[in-house]
Structure 1
């Protein structure tokens, strides 16, 4: 999570990104920003030099032009220049911000294709699939499995079955985890995708599948409560024993029988 100085710098870089991304090929822009973020992750010395607040911004911008001009699009180049010209609380924030903007570019592409809802749902469902298949999880997260093999596995599983943006985002997380667990990365990307429409994400657990009318009423109630649109990721979990629970950020709304039993246990233990 970005804090203090880095949060203020992010706003500056996002402003420049928004100015140049409008006419760009958003899918390609996402790939380019991911690639530069991964480059900065690998080349620690380069990242430290380009995030050093003591170095003049113009000098760092020139270094980026020499490094990337002709190799990435103009929009990607301008975004990276804005990023290295800003000041960051820690050097790792530079790569974090470029990856974050890559996710935003990918989400904007999905929105333009009217597939943003699909991407949100598919990221969530893929997380549930991986969580329930230990062998698949181990293969996708094992450091010893070559990146090419992971890409091919994802292609065989997902190509043509999910939105191109979904495959792009999952591939980034699997091939370049950047110190995150896969489930944490899927959660982070899911929130960034939802933010494309300024929406909150609610994880709903219910003993039975909710009807479309129940989902609509729940979404309306949450929108009224939080003052923002809420995207529902619904998971059927028989362990809840009836009712449902809703997680939104740090908030938990628990109407399940299992939750009430646990609350009684906590009170008795206290």
Structure 2
């Protein structure tokens, strides 16, 4: 399997490669990807879950029990649940975010997709996401997996990262550019 050096070099990346290979060999890529997306959304919405995954104070056994309960509540697949148990046992729950990002990158490469990170000031509607996906597919020349983020600090517009390209049409950047020009 072709892996980028950046993914292999990071601790979260090595865990993601292991999870990806287990999922691929077990023909469970889609279920693991869905479980990780569910977990990612839950971490973004729950301060308590985020604290569980980032706190160095929580012990191995307590973290294992807590993450098992979370996995059951979120109805995560068995491979992802076991994997999270390994992260808890190894005191690596803090790597959960980087594991999810690296897994998404590996999955996109496996599917022949490009990945695009879209940051908006407000959540995008389904039709906006569809239109944006169509535009990016035309630009990239292949399917594009979208990773949507909301950051009110950009005030409006979008910041799109597609591979090594970045398109920043945010109001914050435009105001900063205007401020620099006025100093000038």
CA distance in 2, matches of 1:249, 1:173: 29
The alignment's C-alpha RMSD in Å is 3.7
TM-score by length of 2: 0.69
Cα 1:230–1:143 change in 2 (3 A) is: same
Cα 1:129–1:263 change in 2 (3 A) is: farther
Number of residue equivalences: 176
Aligned counterparts, 1:1-270, within 5 A: 2=5, 100-106=17-23, 109-111=27-29, 114-115=30-31, 118-119=34-35, 121-129=37-45, 133=47, 136-164=49-77, 165-176=79-90, 181-265=95-179
Cα 1:115–1:185 change in 2 (3 A) is: closer
TM-score by length of 1: 0.51
Q: Which has the larger radius of gyration?
A: 1
Structure 2 alignment gaps of length 5 or more = none
* Cα pair 1:173 1:185 within 8 Å, conserved: no
- 1:210 Cα offset (Å): 1.8
Deviations 1:21-47 (A, max 9, x none): xxxxxxxxxxxxxxxxxxxxxxxxxxx
Task: Give SS of 1:201's match.
Answer: strand
Deviates more, 1:154-163 or 1:211-220: 154-163
Deviations 1:85-142 (A, max 9, x none): xxxxxxx89xx7686143233256334xx54662463254245246xx2x54443334
CA distance in 1, matches of 2:117, 2:152: 15
* Cα pair 1:121 1:233 within 8 Å, conserved: no
Structure 1 alignment gaps of length 5 or more = 4-9, 11-91
* Cα pair 2:118 2:160 within 8 Å, conserved: yes
Task: Give SS of 1:145's match.
Answer: coil
CA distance in 2, matches of 1:168, 1:265: 52
Task: Give SS of 2:159's match.
Answer: strand
- 1:184 Cα offset (Å): 2.7
Deviations 1:63-104 (A, max 9, x none): xxxxxxxxxxxxxxxxxxxxxxxxxxxxx89xx768614323
CA distance in 1, matches of 2:173, 2:163: 18
CA distance in 1, matches of 2:73, 2:121: 31
Cα 1:187–1:158 change in 2 (3 A) is: same
